[in-house]
């Protein structure tokens, strides 16, 4: 029987430092005190923006996106550009008290934020558990403990019921491919897609890896003998799925996979199985339930 899983240590190291040792601003107050009065928060990704909305936080900056509609609450917020490369000049003009970004981009964005003098926090959105731990810590940091607690309680109730309903389900061995324009990588259990597969009872054939995504040759994938192959896209899903279709049709080695022989290859909707955890995880798990 699956046990109710505990939250993992999930916020980026800097986030933990900020929570337990206040950063002093120019006025001499702590960062948290400054934010509670100014509320000048910038969220550079859709996932971070959605978390802020549910925590009842105002935003001065939001990501530029064509994948979703910016909430009406943030209609007057300034667009910051791509989550992978927010416009630093616009951010400087906004003078944010906090810049919130996903931890998957920490290596790219942290040096830029530090050079610009921003106060920032990277949220771990590599799993549903990571997202809710980040919500808990943001609640403490930004005076939204009540909202965060209500969200966490809702998730715990959902996951307790979900786990009890799936305790006797079989555990298929799964290979997950994350497509990029022109290439693909293997998603491990440390990625968001991998964490969803794990929650749904699947066993990642590349369990035990440290990275979120790894480059692996097809011979090694074949040796892992997955029961199911899942394919999703990081960007440009139509183009990526066409790439996958051509790859599986023209590269003979795929015809030797048992999952291919049995028709157990599935394309996942990228809106549910992207790079960062979202509040649509129940729909994603329901989708996996149908496949497993």
Domain check: are 146 and 265 in the same one?
Answer: no
Domain check: are 184 and 157 in the same one?
Answer: no
3-state SS, residue 113: helix
194: number of CA atoms within 13 Å, CB side? 25
Q: Of the candidates 135, 172, 136, 157, which has an alpha carbon nearest to the alpha carbon of residue 52?
A: 135
How many domains does the chain fold into?
2
d(CA 104, CA 132): 16
| Residue 153 falls inside a structural domain | yes
| Residue 201 falls inside a structural domain | yes
| Residue 4 falls inside a structural domain | no
Domain check: are 129 and 224 in the same one?
Answer: no
For residue 286, give the CATH number of its domain. Answer: 3.40.50.1980
Predicted confidence pLDDT, tens digits, the chain (292 residues): 333 333 333 344 333 333 332 322 222 233 334 444 347 999 999 999 999 999 999 999 999 988 788 999 999 999 999 999 999 999 999 999 999 999 989 999 999 999 999 999 999 999 999 999 999 999 999 999 999 999 999 999 999 999 988 887 789 999 999 998 889 999 999 999 999 999 999 999 999 999 999 999 999 999 999 999 999 998 788 889 999 999 999 999 999 999 999 999 999 998 899 889 999 999 999 999 999 9
Domain check: are 191 and 216 in the same one?
Answer: yes
| 242 membership: H or E segment, kind and range | helix 237-250
| Residue 167 falls inside a structural domain | no
Q: Where are the alpha helices (DSSP H) in 117-203?
A: 128-141, 145-165, 192-199
d(CA 111, CA 237): 30
Domain check: are 151 and 198 in the same one?
Answer: no
Domain check: are 153 and 193 in the same one?
Answer: no
Domain check: are 70 and 105 in the same one?
Answer: yes
Q: pTM of the full predicted structure?
A: 0.81
Distances (CA, A) of 181 to 10, 88, 107, 161, 277: 29, 26, 22, 38, 21
Determine the structural domain holding residue 217 and report its residue range.
Answer: 173-291
């Amino acid at each position: 029987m699956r046990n109710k899983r505990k939250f993992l240590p999930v916020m980026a190291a800097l986030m933990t430092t900020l929570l337990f040792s206040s950063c002093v601003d120019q006025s001499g107050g702590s960062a948290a005190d400054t934010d509670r009065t100014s509320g000048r928060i910038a969220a550079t990704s859709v996932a971070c923006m959605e978390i802020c909305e549910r925590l009842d936080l105002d935003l001065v900056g939001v990501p530029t996106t064509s994948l979703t509609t910016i909430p009406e609450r943030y209609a007057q917020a300034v667009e910051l550009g791509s989550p992978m490369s927010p416009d630093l000049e616009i951010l400087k003009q906004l003078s944010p008290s906090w810049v919130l970004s996903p931890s998957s981009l920490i290596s790219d964005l942290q040096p830029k934020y530090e050079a610009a003098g921003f106060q920032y926090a990277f949220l771990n959105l590599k799993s549903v558990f990571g997202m809710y731990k980040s919500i808990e810590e943001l609640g403490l940091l930004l005076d939204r403990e009540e909202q965060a607690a209500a969200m966490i309680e809702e998730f715990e109730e959902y996951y307790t019921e979900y786990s009890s309903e799936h305790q006797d389900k079989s555990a298929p061995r799964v290979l997950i491919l994350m497509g990029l324009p022109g290439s693909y990588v293997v998603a491990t259990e440390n990625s968001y897609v991998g964490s969803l597969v794990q929650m749904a009872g699947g066993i990642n054939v590349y369990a035990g890896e440290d990275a979120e995504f790894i480059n692996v040759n097809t011979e090694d994938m074949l040796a892992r003998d997955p029961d199911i192959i899942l394919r999703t896209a990081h960007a440009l899903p139509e183009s990526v799925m066409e790439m996958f279709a051509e790859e599986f049709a023209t590269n003979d080695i795929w015809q030797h996979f048992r999952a291919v022989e049995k028709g157990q290859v599935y394309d996942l909707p990228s809106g549910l199985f992207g790079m960062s955890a979202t509040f649509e995880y129940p729909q994603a798990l329901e989708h996996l339930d149908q496949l497993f």
